[in-house]
């Protein structure tokens, strides 16, 4: 089932400025009297309340339209689906883990992650997908008052009526209000912010947060302005183009049947109009592999339409690349090879991975905030005070590598680096500490972590330098001298 042709109009309205429902009636003109006047200077003109206006958000109707269009495109438009699913696969295909240095804290995190209700291994891709589709994600948190165990709920983005911000800081979210349910009730959640409200917020914000009685919830948003309250879909800029491409492909599919269509053109030499009409009434429709018999006065020719299919193929590629380019996705990732070779393909993927890394950073922050909240609630029930500066309380979200490393190239690069620093050491151009730093940087690409100071200390302990070492430059660190050998096999100058 295809969406009616209102999709483009609805999407275009998302970016239109708010219009008043109806112009206000002009005030009645004051009666004219002698010496009547008014104040010219208005002290309040041109001023606005700090954080009091909302010009960085879509109005609620357009926010709802955006979310509906994004969900429809993800379900029905293959190109839109790939624009959402491809980054998701690179980010989360191999799974994510929350880690903490303290063994007890790690047990708390594992209990939260593998809880049968939370089930984060399965739910995380859905949360990340909806964050990109709808631009926001709200997860109410429920805490066991006995042991501090945390379980997450879910609030659909379509049920969010408003997001409240700190009156003195519009960039800080303090609460989430829902639409009315079937009974006319509205729920208001406090946005979870790590720390004590008395230390984080001013009196006005604290009073507002104290009035939100539906519990605590995480609220995350993407593609929003600093002073905006609601997030926007990753597809908002491409909605018109995605719909246009889909319409174009449907039209092309319908026209494809015409490529094989043809008609028989029959020419009757010397015949009058009446003769042609009489002959047309007598000619049966030729069947497949049929036989025709006629004289030289009658000529048959099969005529096929020329609809310039090659031109449409080029237009389809242009529309597709415009939508893909807006999402920084290379053409060859969506079935279009073009003139791309392996070297060019590798370079064309770099911008996409940069954007994917930016979204990974956002997801990492989300998960680490979830993990820190879990530890904070567990610590509260255990009578402990978390020290977020201590490594024991630091939560780290471990993501898989987005691109498989070419170990052969990395190993060759490491070998070249080792040879280069060995030569520099032999010529006394760098210190051993600097040499180990260079090797450590090259080894890091192979996921091998080397602490240069510790490694140097261990090397000196295992292989102390002999006293009175007078090895000449070019002979240190196993680097042979570059001077030519004598005829007897000994090096010159030995």
Q: Is the same domain home to 202 and 175?
A: yes
In a domain, 200, yes or no: yes
Q: What is the pLDDT of residues 2-42, one digit of tens each?
A: 444 545 555 555 555 444 444 555 555 555 444 444 444 44
Mean pLDDT for the chain overall: 81
Q: Is the same domain home to 361 and 232?
A: yes
Length of the chain measured in residues: 494
**DSSP designation for 192:** P
Calpha distance 269→360 (Å, rounded): 76
Asked if 130 and 160 touch (Cβ cutoff 8 Å), the reply is no
Boundary residue ending a domain (402, 428, 453): 402
pLDDT at residue number 6: 45
Boundary residue ending a domain (382, 402, 422): 402
Summarize the confidence of residues 354-358 as an average pLDDT. 90
- Residue 319, domain extent: 239-282+297-326
Nearest of 18, 17, 14 to residue 67 by alpha carbon:
14
pLDDT at residue number 44: 47
Nearest of 164, 17, 123, 134 to residue 74 by alpha carbon:
134
Structure tokens belonging to residue 119: 């089930």
In a domain, 68, yes or no: yes
pLDDT category at 48 given cuts 50, 70, 90 is very low
Q: Is the same domain home to 168 and 276?
A: no
In a domain, 46, yes or no: no
Q: Is the same domain home to 377 and 470?
A: no
Contacts of 30 (CB under 8 A, 6+ apart): 36
Q: Is the same domain home to 200 and 179?
A: yes
Q: Is the same domain home to 389 and 269?
A: no
pLDDT category at 339 given cuts 50, 70, 90 is low
Summarize the confidence of residues 44-57 as an average pLDDT. 54
pLDDT category at 50 given cuts 50, 70, 90 is very low
Name the pTM for this structure.
0.70
pLDDT at residue number 455: 79
Asked if 79 and 242 touch (Cβ cutoff 8 Å), the reply is yes
Calpha distance 366→219 (Å, rounded): 9
Summarize the confidence of residues 433-458 as an average pLDDT. 82
Q: What is the pLDDT of residues 178-205, one digit of tens each?
A: 999 999 999 999 999 998 999 999 999 9
Q: Is the same domain home to 252 and 393?
A: no
Q: What percent of the chain has pLDDT over 90?
A: 42
- In degrees and rounded to multiples of 5, residue 97 shows phi and psi of -130, 145
pLDDT at 471 over 60: no
Structure tokens belonging to residue 226: 């600093």
Q: Is the same domain home to 161 and 214?
A: yes
Q: What is the pLDDT of residues 311-325, one digit of tens each?
A: 677 888 888 888 888
Calpha distance 242→8 (Å, rounded): 10
In a domain, 262, yes or no: yes
pLDDT at residue number 221: 96
pLDDT at residue number 24: 52
Q: Is the same domain home to 101 and 191?
A: yes
Q: What is the pLDDT of residues 232-258, one digit of tens each?
A: 999 999 999 999 888 888 888 777 777
Calpha distance 134→422 (Å, rounded): 55
pLDDT at 81 over 60: yes
Contacts of 380 (CB under 8 A, 6+ apart): 148
Contacts of 14 (CB under 8 A, 6+ apart): 58, 62, 65, 66, 236, 239
Nearest of 119, 89, 130 to residue 401 by alpha carbon:
89
Calpha distance 419→470 (Å, rounded): 22
Summarize the confidence of residues 110-129 as an average pLDDT. 96
pLDDT greater at residue 329 or residue 52: 329
In a domain, 303, yes or no: yes
pLDDT at residue number 292: 78
Q: Is the same domain home to 99 and 211?
A: yes
In a domain, 20, yes or no: no
Contacts of 141 (CB under 8 A, 6+ apart): 150, 151, 152, 153, 192, 215, 216, 217, 218, 373
β-bridge mates for residue 73, sequence order: none
Q: What percent of the chain has pLDDT over 70?
A: 78
Q: Measured between alpha carbons, how far is residue 234 from residues 130, 366, 455 in Å? A: 10, 18, 46
Count of the separate structural domains present in the chain: 3
pLDDT category at 133 given cuts 50, 70, 90 is very high
In a domain, 352, yes or no: yes
Structure tokens belonging to residue 361: 């950073």
Calpha distance 268→278 (Å, rounded): 11
Q: What is the pLDDT of residues 218-230, one digit of tens each?
A: 999 999 999 899 9
* First vs last C-alpha separation in the chain: 89
Boundary residue ending a domain (335, 370, 402): 402
Q: Measured between alpha carbons, how far is residue 475 from residues 322, 470, 480 in Å? A: 59, 10, 5
Summarize the confidence of residues 416-431 as an average pLDDT. 86
pLDDT at residue number 358: 92
Q: Is the same domain home to 311 and 440?
A: no
Q: What is the pLDDT of residues 141-178, one digit of tens each?
A: 999 999 999 999 999 999 999 999 999 999 999 999 99
pLDDT at 492 over 70: no
In a domain, 18, yes or no: no
Summarize the confidence of residues 437-462 as an average pLDDT. 81
**DSSP designation for 261:** -
pLDDT at 268 over 80: yes
pLDDT at residue number 467: 57
Nearest of 150, 158, 95, 82 to residue 124 by alpha carbon:
95
Q: Is the same domain home to 232 and 250?
A: no
Calpha distance 365→143 (Å, rounded): 21
Structure tokens belonging to residue 380: 């509260």
Highest mean pLDDT out of 265-269, 353-357, 372-376, 474-478: 372-376
Query: Tokens 């099969």 appear where?
Result: 302
């Amino acid at each position: 089932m295809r969406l009616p042709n209102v999709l483009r109009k609805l999407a275009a309205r998302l970016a239109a400025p708010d219009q008043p429902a109806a112009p206000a009636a002009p005030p009645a003109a004051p009666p004219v009297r002698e010496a009547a006047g008014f104040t010219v200077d208005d002290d309040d003109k041109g001023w606005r309340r700090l954080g009091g206006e909302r010009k960085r958000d879509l109005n609620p109707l357009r926010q709802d339209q955006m979310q509906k269009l994004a969900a429809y495109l993800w379900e029905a438009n293959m190109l839109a689906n790939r624009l959402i699913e491809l980054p998701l696969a690179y980010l989360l295909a191999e799974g994510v883990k929350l880690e903490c240095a303290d063994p007890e804290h790690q047990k708390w995190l594992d209990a939260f992650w593998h809880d049968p209700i939370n089930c984060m291994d399965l739910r995380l891709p859905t949360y990340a997908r909806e964050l990109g589709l709808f631009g926001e994600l709200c997860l109410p948190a429920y805490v066991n008052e006995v042991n501090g165990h945390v379980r997450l709920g879910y609030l659909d983005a379509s049920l969010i009526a408003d997001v409240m911000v700190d009156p003195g800081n519009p960039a800080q979210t303090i609460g989430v209000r829902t639409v009315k349910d079937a009974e006319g009730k509205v729920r208001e959640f406090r946005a979870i912010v790590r720390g004590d409200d008395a230390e984080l917020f001013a009196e006005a914000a604290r009073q507002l947060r104290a009035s939100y009685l539906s519990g605590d919830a995480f609220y995350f948003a993407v593609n929003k302005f600093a002073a905006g309250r609601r997030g926007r879909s990753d597809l908002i800029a491409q909605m018109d183009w995605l719909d246009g491409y889909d319409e174009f492909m449907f039209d092309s599919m319908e026209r494809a049947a015409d490529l094989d269509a043809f008609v028989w053109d029959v020419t009757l030499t010397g015949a009058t109009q009446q003769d042609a009409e009489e002959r047309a009434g007598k000619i049966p429709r030729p069947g497949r592999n049929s036989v025709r018999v006629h004289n030289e006065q009658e000529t048959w020719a099969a005529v096929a339409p020329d609809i310039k299919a090659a031109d449409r193929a080029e237009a389809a590629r242009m529309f597709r690349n415009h939508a893909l380019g807006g999402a920084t996705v290379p053409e060859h990732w969506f079935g279009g090879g073009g003139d791309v070779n392996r070297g060019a393909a590798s370079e064309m993927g770099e911008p996409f991975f940069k954007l994917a890394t930016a979204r990974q950073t956002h997801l990492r922050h989300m998960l680490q905030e979830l993990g820190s909240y879990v530890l904070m609630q567990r610590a509260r029930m255990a009578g402990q005070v978390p020290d977020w500066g201590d490594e024991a309380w630091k939560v780290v979200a471990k993501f898989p590598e987005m691109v498989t490393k070419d170990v052969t190239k990395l190993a060759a690069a490491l070998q070249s680096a080792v040879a280069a620093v060995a030569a520099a050491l032999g010529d006394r151009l760098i210190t051993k500490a600097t040499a180990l730093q260079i090797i450590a940087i090259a080894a890091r690409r192979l996921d091998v972590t080397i602490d240069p100071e510790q490694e140097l200390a261990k090397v000196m302990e295992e292989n102390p330098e002999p006293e009175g070492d007078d090895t000449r430059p070019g002979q240190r660190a196993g680097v042979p001298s570059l001077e030519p050998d004598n005829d007897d096999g000994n090096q010159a100058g030995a």
